[in-house]
Amino acid sequence: MIPFAVKRLIFYAYKKGVMKMLGCIFCQVAAGQKPATIFHEDDRCVVFQDINPKAPVHLLVIPRKHISSLNEENVDENLLGHLLAVAAKMAREKGIDGSGFRTVINTNAEAGQTVFHLHLHVLGGRILRWPPG
């Protein structure tokens, strides 16, 4: 688990442009420049295995276009709908649609966002408690 102070540091580094200099790791995954276990690709999104899974099934659905978070102005509603539809498709393919799965979008550091490229978590394969966190 990443300590809150580290998350806040990452968030402020992002805000100051440090992450832009280093490059967005999710943009690099989408471009095939970083290795990842890819489960789905289309012209608008990529789905891959989370490297720090919190459930037996833990996938990330990312748009190919860099969007830092849901806080960005003019987030494409059609793209968001596509990401959710792909998440449901992946849940079916992974066999967790019947037992249940959770979709999560963390927005900014205090909510747990550590990579500032919009991404949707798909979690399942075990009982997920509420509240999360």
Catalytic residue set: 119
What is d(CA 64, CA 27) in angstroms, rounded to the nearest whole number? 7
**DSSP one-letter string for 4-71:** HHHHHHHHHHHHTTHHHHH--HHHHHHTTSS---EEEE-SSEEEEE-SS-SSSEEEEEEESS----TT
Q: How far is CA 40 from the centre of its chain?
A: 14
